[in-house]
Copies of this chain bind each other. A is one copy, B any other.
Amino acid sequence: MTKTITMAAATAGHAEGGTTLNAFDNALLAAGIGNINLIKVSSIVPPDVSIIELPKIKPGAIVPTAYAAMTSETPGETVAAAVGYALPDDPQKNGVIMEFHGVATREEAERQIRAMLDEAFSVRGETIHKMQVFAVDHTVERIGCALAAITLLAEEDLV
């Protein structure tokens, strides 16, 4: 796309909803990204990208996003979603994003992400300069969703 990705921002949220899609929508709202268009990407941090706090994004903006979501309709079940990124020593090389969703606790999700990022850097022959993981879990009342996301942003996406 012609717009240039210059920022990445992570977030996570969880919520109940009347349907699984509403639970997902509500989790997006809880995460602060419920009014934008997510396009799922698989899942690289471009070189020279700034990691920032989630900014105010224009409503309806079309935003490439690596995300994981887990919905459940089983009351009492704990579900988790997590994303994490790792950046290499050389800022001109790309970072890697990993996602996890499942019946799990937040701690288990975080551990999975770290292990996946470790392997991703090991196979690339790179060492990890910085790693950060964003995870959330949700214990279902009726219908619930846990969601974690890393948005890839351009200047024009911001309010």
A47 on interface, CB distance cutoff 8 Å: yes
The interface residues of chain A, by DSSP majority, are classed as: mixed
Contact A62 B1 (CB under 8 A): yes
A144 on interface, CB distance cutoff 8 Å: no
Q: How far is the CA of A44 from the CA of B58 in the complex (A)?
A: 11
With most chain B CB atoms within 10 A of its CB, the pick from A36, A60, A93, A94 is A60
A13 on interface, CB distance cutoff 8 Å: no
Contact A19 B115 (CB under 8 A): yes
* Chain A positions 97 through 138: 1 when the CB is less than 8 Å from some CB of chain B, otherwise 0: 011100000000000100110011001100000000000000
Contacts of A46 in B (CB 8 A): 37, 59-61
Cross-interface CB contact of A94 among B45, B60, B100, B156, cutoff 8 Å: B60
Cross-interface CB contact of A43 among B17, B37, B112, cutoff 8 Å: B37
